[in-house]
Structure 1
Amino acid sequence: MMEDGRKRHCWECLRRRLVCDFTLPACKRCLKSGIDCPGYDEKEPNRLKWLAPGKVKSRTRKSSRTSKPSKSAVKSNRKQKETSVYSKAEISISCEDVFIPSFQLKTEVHMLFQACQYYNACIYPSLLPTTELGPRSNVYLISPAIFQKCLAYPDYIRLSIVCVTTSHLMNQIRDNAGPFDGQSNPLAKTFFRYRGLVIRSLSNEINMGHKCASDFVVAGILMLLLVDTQHGVSPFWRCHLQGVQEIILLRGGIRTLAGSTGTQPLLLCFAYLGVIGDTCSPTPDLIMAPSLLDELDASLSNDQDGSFAAHVYPTTLFQEIIKINLIRLRVSKHDSPDVAKDFTLEAFKTLNRIQAFSPETWAESKSSAHDDWVLLSEAMPSPRLKTFFLWPLIVLGVAAVHNSNNMRIFVIKHLEEMSRNLGTYIPLTGKDVLEGFWASGRTEWDACFDKPYAFVMQASVDVSKLL
């Protein structure tokens, strides 16, 4: 149907300098050409056309004269470098067969989109095999639906994803044991910029009285803690954990929060970081309050369905680690010989329970990946287990002070490989700590750790159940 008296061409015919037939609702000339007619509105609509990565529709003509770029061009180029950092993922070893598009986009939403693309292409595939050992709530593909849900999260949650993926890429493209090189400088600027935005957003939320103890604030603090420990940027990671501990105490303790589905992953992360962190901290400077350790021990004892299982650690062994931390803490505060005798007896009971633990029996309870659990001596190359060997390697490194150089070389080699393959700096921190300990001439456990360390490999917190 043609509208009488209409003399306005559709916008596509105007662009192509053709005579429009003025048909409503769409021009037939456009339809015959296989083009969606943009219509006859007063204002020209925005038209975006998707091009395959690397395909160019048109190029600007190169000038024969070379001129000095203007200040605005230099500034624009800097922004483009910052926002296209994820295109460097093509040179990452673990992602060498995956092409990550290089979008020249400048908003935080676009940066988040790029970060999610990188996570799905380069981080998620390395974590997926670990789910064969049992359910892991913090390992999932970021689907379009989850991305849309993520947009509703506070800035300090969303932008932490950018920090996690940028740090991962920086650790993958550098040398095994070397520092970050010049190629990582644009990435470092992006990392610290978004880390600053995360801190500012989280601080603003904490300063709002009615939100300072919310689930999202707990998740945000834990995310920032993981970002800092994985990148090795802050030695004061325990300040974050102390903040979470205070919030948990304000809200009634671990037992009160453990009943909520949304907070269970947060409590699991807190417990894992706190307990493992305390094993690598000098006494009596341990982070977790004795009352919380007792509560955690009781919660694990009452957990029959395994929903509060501590990562891939057998729950019974994780409880023994808690008891060892309690013994270390209490011994450091008492000098009486009678008290020391009681603690010695308790320590031997703990050791006997650990030695009585049967890996074969526990492996029988695991329906999936049974062989990996039983044959731990051959499990180092296993993609299912490689993310869980950091703390065991640190323990082996401490024990290596009594052994030959072969064991030390073994530990150092695997720490360096782990840092690059998994995109995290924390194994190299462990390497430095162990080398300093071996050179000190001392042999006791506390002498290895001059300050608290968090030798954990968890990179993110499950916030999917908070909305």
Structure 2
Amino acid sequence: MAEIHGSCDPAFESVRGILQDQFAQGNEVGASLCVNIDGKNVVDLWGGHADTEKTKQWDKDIVTGVFSSTKVVTGLAAHILIDRGLLHVNEKFASYWPEFGSNGKGDAKVSHILSHSSGVPAWEGVITPEEVQDVETSTKRLAAQAPCQFIADEITNPLSADFQLGIPEEDWPRIAEMIPFPPEAMAGIELNPASILGKAVAGSALQAHLPNDPNFRKSKNGAWGGFSNARALARIGSIVSLNGIVDGNQYLSSHALDEMMKEQIQGDDPMLRVHMRFALGLGLPPGKEFPCIPEGDGICFWGDWGGSMLVMDRRRRMTIAYVMNKMEFRSIGGARAQEYIQHIYKSFDAGKPYIADPWSGSLSIIIIIIIIIIIHTRICQPYRPSGGRSCGATGVIAPFGRAIEVPRLFVALDVGTTRPSSGNLLYQLRGRTALHSLIKVRVAQMVEARKRHCWECLRRRLVCGFEVPGCERCAASGVDCPGYGETPPMRVKWLVPGTVKLRQRKDVSNRQKNSRAGSESTGSEKSPSESSGANSCLADDTRKVALPHPHLKTDYHALIDSVEYFNSCIYPQLANVLRLGTNANIYKLPLAMIQMGLTRPGHLQLGLVCLTLSHRMNQMGHDHDSKALRTTFFRYRGLMIRSLNDDINLPNKRNGGIVLAGILTLLLADAQEGISHHWRYHIEGVRRLIISRGGMNRVVTTPGALPIVLSFVHLVVLSDTSSPGSDMLVERLDLEEVYLMVKCYGENGYGFQMCPSPLFAEIVKINHIRNQMSKLNGTDENDLHSDAREVLHRIYGFSPAAWIESNESLTDASKLIMDTYQSAVALYCMSSLQSAGALPPNPFLKKNCDMERRILHGLIEQSLAGRCHGYMLWPLLVLGVQAVNGGPSLRAFVREKMVSMSAACGTYAPLAAKRILENFWDSGKDKWDDCFDKPYMFTTVLSSDIDLLK
């Protein structure tokens, strides 16, 4: 009886027994089986014989032909190109391979090739094995470099995986002989010669014994010409199972994986003769033909003709690979493989001993697979995905599908056939372009129309009744339902101060005087602005609103004007993000609040006045009227400081939440150098007051204090990102308290300016590592290096789609923002920790930074197009630091967006950030810490430029 060699964890000992039984029953001749969990092989077994006569033992390093499992590897190579922006899934395939577009195939897209729906399932007529094996003849004008070189450089060599696309003669002694299934296995199978499968079989050049043929071994065919074993395939497949990162090296981003795992088509495949669900290449469960694979998100698989199989499970971080040399008559995978896989899952679920990083909630899954490009001469229109219906034939995935897949594509890209650069394109290059079918889109639209909350229920975070014309919940609360429109209804109309007066009789001279004054006011309102580059077309709507009078009569009038200005000019901009579901605490200020506001301390009232004045000034830029407004602004700021000092000097008020709110309000108004060089004094004051009240964990239990504490945490953490590593606020805080605030309260609707709390916690950790690296004592450096790698691993392990699904308040529209923050946090991690020395400056990490920079560029452009300016300053700042290596066009993009963001948000902070970045770009330095020689605070909350008073 064949002997089984290798290692097997006790939890999977039953799997060894099943493999031994298959050898004892004569079902196996030689085979290898590997299970990789969290990067470690818990099962690595091999045994039997490598030849038909059973004279050659199947040793540890034996390899054999793996047929269509090759497509998994070439598919990974294609998706690496997509992730790097060199290949676009929605581009017509003929733009990369012009010859493919002949005879009606010109409309087929890359996505059709990847999802096996190109409509080119077989060769037209008979083709010989010799013609297929001559790759240059098959592709007609193939350039010198074959895809095997790209695969070796980018996948197999970095992973030390024993996979070869075409195998040299010196390795032939370790190739296991392929044993075809007996001819009687096909008895009783009748094929219609006119059918797709019939044509494929009749013209087939693929024969079961081909891996034994010397010419085939040399052919380097990317569809089914690979040679490998289970250990190597499991190693390669772990790129998917481990969310793109293996041994600390990132091969694919989680963003690319998310999009690739979306279902494209499903139905009965006439080539494979099974029911299939296809992502962009690989199969997705469930399927009645594959009961061994559990249902649920996060799993994908592929098998080859004869029985081998590869399963990649992201939720369990598990990869299963099986390779054999005795073939079964089955188009994809075999009965033996399914039995092994079934027992492996049973063993895993029984003990669950290996889940190192479980993900909660429903996951959007992803996988990486197959690109095959066929030469075909007959007229054939591509089959397009059609909302879950059968798409007819696959794009040559079959055992009989003859493919000369990626070589021509790689060559075209190598010689510079890249797509025009633009932000929109860069976003799509990451694989984020939606490929949902028309049916799904229409269903989603109907559900959205039926289940859209009214604006009042959305503001109050209540479940709406959805009644028409107004919901009953609003009626029960005594509130007029604002309805379900696309934009919130306006209930307060802004009027020019002084234009509406008491309706009393006036003499003619007064009426004439008022008429002339009104004409002058209108004329000046319509005249072109002489504003600087800080003006933006995005702020046009708010600029049409008349200016508050620069000399307000009383503080009471100032408060009224501020409330009305907020409702008319600021709230409509903020309301754009309500549909994202990230912050339901955005609402208009009712006029009744003015009466309540008069009972509050003066510094809170005057804080609102200062913020609204600052908003208007920054939108005006250098207009003539802005200087008068700045004079008014600083007058009210002085009154605010005086009121705040009065409360601080009173022992019974000093430690109250209102004083904390007042200091933070002043801090937000003084956030940039344009106002004060001493913003950290405000931070230190808040910190001491919080400590005096028992710490953040105790303060948040006070009514109304939670948003104050979260604002404080947000400002401290982000300001540390733009501070030197040796001078950070994080060293003065209790880190455990900070993590507790982020974990427990980061999802309550206030949030951290749309940054998901798990990513925000990683920013805290990065800041801490930077600070510790600046104070090394020589004993803990290795620990910090390990911490840095773990942080990067967790960042790329974060799934925006899963985060949205697990948070009911979030909507699908917020995914773009979540993607942007994930990319920005990853780039900040790599850039700042390399600068600090916690991550090595190796070429692989540099390549990752370059790729992430291009991705973030596209994401930010998409986000800004959606009018989410107030949430993009920090990601744009991160991109700006990396623009030092990005060329003039990227710097011009950052410069332009900083200017327009200042106008759109009504804050000086983006212009202050622009000045710092421009100094950095001109310095000749390129490290993160070189950009920030002292602590800076950049926030899109309102601040002003004191230089304009000079």
Q: Is TM > 0.5 for Structure 1 vs Structure 2? A: yes
Is 2:903 the partner of 1:455?
no
Among 911, 923, 928, the alignment partner of 1:440 is 923
Among 688, 691, 704, the alignment partner of 1:249 is 691
Among 129, 132, 149, the alignment partner of 2:579 is 132
Structure having the larger proportion of residues in strand? 2
Q: Which moved more, 1:135-144 or 1:51-60?
A: 51-60
Could you tell me which residue of structure 2 aligns to residue 361 of structure 1? 802
For residues 72-110 of structure 1, the C-alpha deviation after alignment (integer angstroms, 9 at most, x for no partner) is xxxxxxxxxxxx9xx979987232454568698611101
Instruction: Give how far 1:290 is off.
Output: 4.8
For residues 372-400 of structure 1, the C-alpha deviation after alignment (integer angstroms, 9 at most, x for no partner) is 424853222113x2210000000001111
Question: What is the identity, as a one-letter code, of the residue corresponding to 2:774?
Answer: S
Q: 1:230, 1:424 within 8 Å by CA — same for their partners in 2?
A: no
Could you tell me which residue of structure 2 aligns to residue 144 of structure 1? 591
For residues 147-197 of structure 1, the C-alpha deviation after alignment (integer angstroms, 9 at most, x for no partner) is 2111111000001111111111111112xxxxx454312101100000000
Q: Which moved more, 1:199-208 or 1:180-189?
A: 180-189
CA distance in 2, matches of 1:108, 1:187: 15
For residues 136-157 of structure 1, the C-alpha deviation after alignment (integer angstroms, 9 at most, x for no partner) is 3653211022121111110000
CA distance in 2, matches of 1:205, 1:101: 29
Instruction: Give how far 1:58 is off.
Output: 2.9
CA distance in 2, matches of 1:257, 1:282: 29
The unaligned stretches of length 5 or more in structure 2 are 1-497, 511-520, 530-538, 821-858, 944-950
Could you tell me which residue of structure 2 aligns to residue 406 of structure 1? 889
Q: 2:542, 2:569 within 8 Å by CA — same for their partners in 1?
A: yes
Question: What is the identity, as a one-letter code, of the residue corresponding to 2:628?
Answer: P
Question: What is the identity, as a one-letter code, of the residue corresponding to 1:273?
Answer: L
CA distance in 1, matches of 2:626, 2:552: 20
Could you tell me which residue of structure 2 aligns to residue 200 of structure 1? 642
Among 365, 379, 396, the alignment partner of 2:863 is 379
Question: What is the identity, as a one-letter code, of the residue corresponding to 1:392?
Answer: P
Could you tell me which residue of structure 1 aligns to residue 619 of structure 2? 172
**For the structure 1 residues 185 and 308, does the alpha-carbon distance in structure 2 shift closer, same or farther, using more than 3 Å as the test?**
closer
CA distance in 1, matches of 2:526, 2:704: 33
Is 2:421 the partner of 1:421?
no
- Percentage of identical aligned residues: 38
Q: 1:390, 1:457 within 8 Å by CA — same for their partners in 2?
A: yes
Instruction: Give how far 1:340 is off.
Output: 1.6
Instruction: Give how far 1:55 is off.
Output: 8.8
Please give the TM-score of this superposition, normalised by the length of structure 2. 0.38
CA distance in 2, matches of 1:440, 1:154: 47
Is 2:812 the partner of 1:370?
yes
Q: 2:746, 2:752 within 8 Å by CA — same for their partners in 1?
A: no
Could you tell me which residue of structure 1 aligns to residue 77 of structure 2? none
Instruction: Give how far 1:296 is off.
Output: 1.1
Is 2:279 the partner of 1:279?
no
Instruction: Give how far 1:431 is off.
Output: 0.3
Q: 2:584, 2:749 within 8 Å by CA — same for their partners in 1?
A: no
How many matched pairs? 382
Q: How does 1:181-260 map to 2 (within 5 A)?
A: 181-229=623-671, 232-260=674-702
Question: What is the identity, as a one-letter code, of the residue corresponding to 2:668?
Answer: L
Question: What is the identity, as a one-letter code, of the residue corresponding to 1:404?
Answer: G
CA distance in 2, matches of 1:154, 1:357: 43
CA distance in 2, matches of 1:99, 1:56: 24
Instruction: Give how far 1:304 is off.
Output: 8.7
Could you tell me which residue of structure 2 aligns to residue 465 of structure 1? none
Among 786, 790, 793, the alignment partner of 1:345 is 786
CA distance in 1, matches of 2:549, 2:640: 24
Please give the TM-score of this superposition, normalised by the length of structure 1. 0.75
* Higher alpha-carbon Rg: 2
Among 107, 121, 133, the alignment partner of 2:554 is 107
Instruction: Give how far 1:311 is off.
Output: 3.2
Q: 2:574, 2:586 within 8 Å by CA — same for their partners in 1?
A: yes
Q: 1:300, 1:308 within 8 Å by CA — same for their partners in 2?
A: no
Secondary structure of 1:172's match?
Answer: helix
Question: What is the identity, as a one-letter code, of the residue corresponding to 1:326?
Answer: H
Q: How does 1:1-40 map to 2 (within 5 A)?
A: none
Secondary structure of 1:142's match?
Answer: coil
Secondary structure of 1:232's match?
Answer: coil
Structure having the larger proportion of residues in helix? 1
Is 2:842 the partner of 1:394?
no
Could you tell me which residue of structure 2 aligns to residue 11 of structure 1? none
**For the structure 1 residues 308 and 106, does the alpha-carbon distance in structure 2 shift closer, same or farther, using more than 3 Å as the test?**
closer
Could you tell me which residue of structure 2 aligns to residue 95 of structure 1? 542
Q: 2:873, 2:940 within 8 Å by CA — same for their partners in 1?
A: yes
Instruction: Give how far 1:261 is off.
Output: 3.5
Question: What is the identity, as a one-letter code, of the residue corresponding to 1:393?
Answer: L
The unaligned stretches of length 5 or more in structure 1 are 1-49, 63-83, 175-179, 461-467
Q: 1:372, 1:379 within 8 Å by CA — same for their partners in 2?
A: no
Q: 1:127, 1:139 within 8 Å by CA — same for their partners in 2?
A: yes
Secondary structure of 2:891's match?
Answer: helix
**For the structure 1 residues 103 and 261, does the alpha-carbon distance in structure 2 shift closer, same or farther, using more than 3 Å as the test?**
same
